Amino acid sequence: MDEHSLSTRRSVLYTICGVGTASLSVAGSASATERETSDDAAAATEYVAVVDRIVDGEHVVLLLEYEGELVDQLVVSVDAFESVAESDILLVTIADDDLLEYEHVSERPDQIESC
């Protein structure tokens, strides 16, 4: 294959993956646990999160799971954590794509319990 064919094929694959991830995000977010967190009634969602990678020592990429299924990802500043390393498992609470709170856990819980 020539270079143009490879770059076109790669572009198509990236587009397909992006659309698939967006679909997962919408479907997964609807099934996650929601709770009220403040007076303005903003809904927060609890997930099991795995630290996928730390980019340039500045950003932490969290893979968000619900009932054992990958449903979304979130990029957070490394400053939001006291300490964090790749492959850490966390329980996180998120509202409007903001990390509200987190807790390190030693292993994945089977299921997130509602508060």
Q: What is the pLDDT of residues 68-82, one digit of tens each?
A: 899 999 999 999 999
Beta strand residue intervals within 9-95, DSSP E = 33-36, 43-55, 59-66, 69-77, 89-95
In contact, 105 and 91? CB cutoff 8 Å? yes
Q: What is the pLDDT of residues 24-62, one digit of tens each?
A: 444 343 334 444 444 434 689 999 999 999 999 999 999
Which residue is associated with the tokens 């390190």? 104
- How far apart, in whole angstroms, are the C-alpha atoms of residue 69 and residue 71? 6
Assigned token pair, 89: 């498992």
